[in-house]
Structures are given as C-alpha cells and as structure tokens.
Amino acid sequence: MSKRISSFIVCFFLLLSCTIAISIKINAAEKISWDKSEKTEVVDGNNRYLTYFSSNGKYSWIYKIEQVEEKEMESLELPETIEGAIVKKIGYEDKSDSDDVRNLLGVIVEPYHNIDGSDVMPKGIKKVSIPSTVTEICGTAFCGFYNLEEIEIPDEVTTLKYALFYGCSSLKRIVLPKKLEKIENDVFRKCKNLKEFSISKDSKKYCCVDNLLLSKDKKSFIKAPTGLKKVSIPSTVTKIARDAFLDTNVKKVFIPESVTSFQKNSLSGKKIQEILISPDNKLYAVEEDCIYKKKNGELIAIINRGDIIRLPKQVRILTNRVSTIGKDIENLIIPKTVKELRKNCFHYGIRLKTEATIYFEASTPPKMEKGSCAVFATYFVPEKSLQKYKKRYHKVEKLPEGEKEYTIFVGY
C-alpha cells in the first residue's frame, strides 16, 4: 500500500512540475493585446510620452516622445514604466495603407525616398538608453538620429525592423540583443561611421568576430558594419549570407579559401571596388571584375566600373543569384562562352538600367528559360542569327499572337 502511495506522490509532483513548466513557457511567449482606443500623455521633466496600454493594463507602449519646451537634447533616457505599466514597446507604427511613417520623436521620415528627417531633428542626442523591459522596437524608431553615437538594444528584442537606424550617420557602435533572430532591410543604411557590432556570448544564433556579425558556429558571414572600408572574411566562414554588404561603405573584400557558397545578393554593395579570393579556394575565382564558379562557369558577382561591361570567357551560366556591385549596368557584352540564361537572370540577378543594351557574340542563341530575357532591353545579335534568336525567345516566352513585345532584337 505504501509503495502505491509513494508512486502516486511521485507521479503527482512530476505532473505538477510539467504543468508549471508549460505555464512558464506560455507566460514567456505571452502575446500582448494593445488598446489603441485611448492615448495617454505622461510628462516627465521636459519629455512628454504619448502612450498606449495593453488591454490588461500591465504593459505600456511609448509610440511618440515630445518635448514640453523645444531645446537641444544631449541624451534620451526612456522610463521602465508609465503609470505603473511596464514599457514593452517603443516607436511609431501605422498599419494603414498611408505613407505616414515617423520616428520615435514624431518626425515624418521616408526611407523609400531617401528622407531620414535629420534636418528637423533636435540637436545633440548622442546617447539613447532603452530599458531592459522593452521587447519590441518599431521600424524607423531612430531614423534620422544623426548625432547618435552608441546604443544598446535590450536583450529581449528579437527583430531589428525596417530602417531602424537609417541615417544615423554618427553611430559608431551598436550592442545587438542577445535574442536577435532577424535583421530587416535598410536597418543600418546611411550609417557611414558604424564600425563595430557586438553581441552577448550567450546569443544562441549569432556571434561577433573582428566586429563582424557571424552565425553562432562562425560558418556564415551575416553582416558587415556599414562604416568599414575593408573586410577580411574570417577563415571559419563557408557561406556569405544574403545582403551581407548591402548599403555598406566597404570598398575591398577578401574571401578566404573556406568559402563554398554565396547566397543571393550576398556581395551587392554599391561601394565595393575590389574583391580578392584566396588562390587556394577550390570553387571560385575572379576574372575581369567578375567572380565565377570554376566548375560550371556560373557568374556569382560582377563589379560595374564604367559604361560597358564585358563578361569574361570563363562565364557560361547566368542566374538570378548574381550580385551586381555598383550602379545598374547600361551596356553588357555577353561572350560566346555563355550557354545558358536561367529564369530572371536579368530581373533579379544582373541589375540593368531600364532600356539597357545587351550584345550577344554567339551565332547560336544560348539556352533560355521563361523570364530569362530583360524587359525593355535591346538585344544586339549577329545579323545572320537574328531570326534564330527571335524564334528561341518566342518559343520560350510563349507570347500570344499580336501581343506587344517589350524586348527588341536587332541584327548587327
């Protein structure tokens, strides 16, 4: 009998511990419902905090900060609570279809039109202190904070949202949150002096090596600080992630022997002037400002230095994964060696200007996939092969009879 009671007690406590663990997990992942029907204004010193509260009254969201009296601000320190409610979210968020996008101080910004609002921002904000209670920061929250030099993001924040630090031209260093999972587009755009990333060693997804952001296992190169001029990718890296150099001021990149793959747009940085690849790298090589795969001649990246770009003879395949470095290409010469154009190789791969000119040197048209030809482009092909190119194009695209063509073929 005593054994049965003992077994019952053990089972009871096991069940209780599981219930508590599940409860804790649910609370940790609690989804907050915000009541936006009422707005509260709380004045603290010279700051007026415009706030929403959660439906249960436990949490607060500072969506805008105003000055009671307009003057220069050396720093901005956000409170941990508003009227006893824990501050969980900061920043302006508009879910409508309007273009009303603002930063934390209510300044209208338009990153999509290169407007960061810095011309109307208060002067002198060099430091922003965010309480550790914050778990979400809205996109563009610090857009145009042009005097901001250093900031630490609370560890519970998982996403750096769209254009969060766009135009923070004085930002030198940023401490990334321990639980960071995602970095959205244009977060560090126009941060010309940002030269240092750091993150807690307890981060489960990322680490920092030589101020560069890598995956935790150090095998993926994630992001370069926008203010660096030279980057030597660590020898542990095997993959360069998508948009790793986007919007950076990096001019020179060294790729080690260890790199075995490039994701789409991984090298698309407009300021890059030189890419060096270790001669010991068995998969990739550089020729005439182009990176290509040795085995099949797939074009990986191309640096646009002038008005006319000629692909090297080592290139045989064009895909939608090409990184175009520099400005959009106006004139492109494709040599006889190119045998295959894959889908969207010009729409999402090689970046062309509208109404670009493309020259084919081969008498025999390359293999084409649907969507592989650039719209609004003019293709110059050998005169004797003009009909072959047109026939190949029409067969691949399956254009209905009489439909207007936006791709023009001309013989030379």
pLDDT digit string, tens, across residues 330-351: 999 999 999 999 999 998 889 9
Q: Please write the tens of the pLDDT for every residue from 22-34.
A: 343 334 446 899 9
Residues 240 and 263: beta-carbon distance below 8 Å: yes
Of the candidates 211, 259, 265, 228, the one whose C-alpha atom is nearest the C-alpha of residue 243 is: 265
Position 36 scores a pLDDT of: 87
Position 16 scores a pLDDT of: 46
Q: Is the pLDDT of residue 1 over 80?
A: no
Q: Give the strands of the sheet with 290-293, arranged side by side.
A: 284-287, 290-293, 299-303, 323-325
Using only C-alpha atoms, what is the Rg of the chain?
Answer: 27
Of the candidates 232, 269, 257, 359, the one whose C-alpha atom is nearest the C-alpha of residue 308 is: 359
Residues 206 and 180: beta-carbon distance below 8 Å: yes
pLDDT tier at 120, thresholds 50, 70, 90 = confident
Q: Please write the tens of the pLDDT for every residue from 249-293.
A: 999 999 999 999 999 899 998 899 999 999 999 999 999 999 999
Strands 47-54 and 59-67 come out as: antiparallel
Q: Please write the tens of the pLDDT for every residue from 339-384.
A: 999 999 998 889 999 889 999 999 999 999 998 988 889 999 999 9
Q: Which residues contact 222 (CB under 8 A, 6 or more apart)?
A: 183, 206, 213, 214, 215, 241, 244
Range with the lowest mean pLDDT among 33-47, 128-142, 326-340, 391-405? 391-405
Range with the lowest mean pLDDT among 43-47, 56-60, 348-352, 405-409? 405-409
Position 20 scores a pLDDT of: 42
Position 365 scores a pLDDT of: 95
Residue corresponding to tokens 């999402």: 348
Residues 371 and 344: beta-carbon distance below 8 Å: yes
Q: Is the pLDDT of residue 141 over 50?
A: yes
| Interatomic CA distance for residues 10 and 12, integer angstroms | 5
Could you give the percent of the chain with pLDDT greater than 90?
Answer: 72
Q: Please write the tens of the pLDDT for every residue from 154-208.
A: 999 999 999 999 999 999 999 999 999 999 989 999 999 999 999 999 999 999 9
